[in-house]
Chains A and B, each alone.
Chain A
Amino acid sequence: MITLLDLFSIAAISAGAFFFFAGTVGLLRFPDALTRMHALAKADNVGLGLVALGLIPRAESALSALKLIVIWALVLLSAASTTQLIGRALRRGRK
């Protein structure tokens, strides 16, 4: 018995998985480190966000739903910071 919420979950998680896939293709196909990082960070942020969104209706309690959101926020934060740091390391390396 598939409810509307299930459909929503399937759609959101599938969309998230697509973004991950696109990000991975980008990682493999883009020519240099900066563009690869761009593909990875952007796609992963959106992809993980969609997966988390899809899982929220399936969470057991409000607290676990909140945890999902916190996880996404933490990944956003770390992805943003690490891409900055790696980018700077790259720029210094080129000079």
Chain B
Amino acid sequence: MSLLPYLDIGLALLVVVVAVWTIAARDLFTSVVGYVAYGLLLAFVWIRLYAPDVALTEAAVGGGVTGVLLITAGKRLGARKNVAPEAQPGLAFRLLTGVLAALVAGALGAVILMLPDPPPSLAPEAAAAADGAGAGLGNPITAVLMSYRSFDTMLEKMVLILAVVGVWSVGTDKAWGGAPAPFRRPKPYAPMVFLAQMLAPVGVLIGIHIFWTGANAPGGAFQGGALLAAMWMVTMMARLAEPPRIDTQRLRLALVAGPAVFLIIGLAGKVVAGSFFAYPPALAKPIILFIEAFMLLSIAAALPMLVAGPPSERADQ
């Protein structure tokens, strides 16, 4: 007899309640705050599902960086006040949507309970392959991301580059090449500066640690990169650093480093290991860490640029 099932049910209820609050809140900003709290709660759910890697990612990206993005956006939209309260949809439409959503949720819930038993799984294959192509990676998720499904991972890095291009393209022609607007308009504020000065070195250390242990323990380039990104953002919020101009080659190189190195090593695999995106078994682990180091850099550069938004004409003033 343990307390754990009750805690699980409590957590589940809490997640659902906060989610309902996010959807039902009247005010835009309240709903954004609700979503950020929701993201953090979700990290606990992932821990309960024995998914520490996902929990780390959810806490850092889903809760943390997305939270900064949405809060900033909510604040700016709130300040502009031009979001006219539109005519709320009529009751009939609301009811219809509610019924549709309930049907989808109900069908999905029923189907989840019907998933086959015993469940199919690739865990045995992954365990068997971990001796060969997975090559000495203690963390099976890193092995999946960097070896078996490395192609997805490389494409996902391309998605980040395209998102950066897309976000930048939303700016004006005149501002092109300049820097995004600073994270906080007012002058630096002492507690924020203090926080950045204390937190950033520790955070960078932890970020690199998470990346390095990712080969064998929960963590990896994603989670480490997200932490580094957060530290850069804190530093920029304290105005200890300003967002870089988007036409600087150093920034561009940092953004493409991950996918570029991945692509080159993937091509080289054809010559060295007989197949595109294959690694020579003896060298697999160092090569994977090498690629991940560049991906760490790319993620740490891409996430803050995505939050910072398009280049701004006022940035230089």
Chain A contacts to B: CB under 8 angstroms: 70, 74, 77-78, 80-81, 84-85, 88
Told that A77-B195, A84-B191, A85-B192 touch, could you supply 16 new A-B pairs with CB distance under 8 A? A70-B202, A74-B199, A74-B202, A77-B198, A77-B199, A78-B195, A78-B199, A80-B191, A81-B191, A81-B192, A81-B194, A81-B195, A85-B189, A85-B191, A88-B189, A88-B191
Chain B contacts to A: CB under 8 angstroms: 189, 191-192, 194-195, 198-199, 202
Q: Whose C-beta in chain B lies nearest to the C-beta of A73?
A: B202
Chain B: minimal CB distance from A78 (Å): 7
Chain A: minimal CB distance from B247 (Å): 33
- Per the bound structure, the CA–CA distance linking A21 and B231 in Å amounts to 32
The total of interchain contacts (Cβ-Cβ below 8 angstroms) comes to 19
Q: Whose C-beta in chain B lies nearest to the C-beta of A84?
A: B191
Residue with the greatest number of chain A CB neighbours at <10 A, chosen from B194, B195, B199, B202: B195
Chain B: minimal CB distance from A84 (Å): 4
Chain A: minimal CB distance from B16 (Å): 21
- Per the bound structure, the CA–CA distance linking A81 and B198 in Å amounts to 11
> A interface, by DSSP: helix, strand, loop or mixed?
helix
Chain A: minimal CB distance from B212 (Å): 14
Chain B: minimal CB distance from A51 (Å): 16
Residues of chain B contacted by A78 (CB below 8 angstroms): 195, 199
- Per the bound structure, the CA–CA distance linking A70 and B198 in Å amounts to 12
Please provide the 10 A-B residue pairs with the shortest distance between their CB atoms, ordered closest to farther. Answer: A84-B191, A81-B195, A81-B191, A77-B198, A85-B191, A77-B199, A85-B192, A77-B195, A81-B194, A88-B189
* Sample (12) of A-B pairs whose CB atoms are under 8 Å apart: A74-B199, A77-B195, A77-B198, A77-B199, A78-B199, A80-B191, A81-B192, A85-B189, A85-B191, A85-B192, A88-B189, A88-B191
Residues of chain B contacted by A70 (CB below 8 angstroms): 202
Chain B: minimal CB distance from A82 (Å): 8
Chain B: minimal CB distance from A14 (Å): 15
Residues of chain B contacted by A84 (CB below 8 angstroms): 191
- Per the bound structure, the CA–CA distance linking A78 and B189 in Å amounts to 15
Chain B: minimal CB distance from A40 (Å): 14
Chain B: minimal CB distance from A60 (Å): 14
- Per the bound structure, the CA–CA distance linking A16 and B198 in Å amounts to 26
- Per the bound structure, the CA–CA distance linking A85 and B198 in Å amounts to 16
- Per the bound structure, the CA–CA distance linking A70 and B195 in Å amounts to 15
Q: Whose C-beta in chain B lies nearest to the C-beta of A81?
A: B195
Chain A: minimal CB distance from B76 (Å): 16
- Per the bound structure, the CA–CA distance linking A88 and B198 in Å amounts to 20
Chain B: minimal CB distance from A73 (Å): 9
Chain A: minimal CB distance from B194 (Å): 7
Residues of chain A contacted by B191 (CB below 8 angstroms): 80-81, 84-85, 88
Chain A: minimal CB distance from B12 (Å): 21
Chain B: minimal CB distance from A33 (Å): 14
Q: Whose C-beta in chain A lies nearest to the C-beta of B234?
A: A81
Chain A: minimal CB distance from B174 (Å): 32
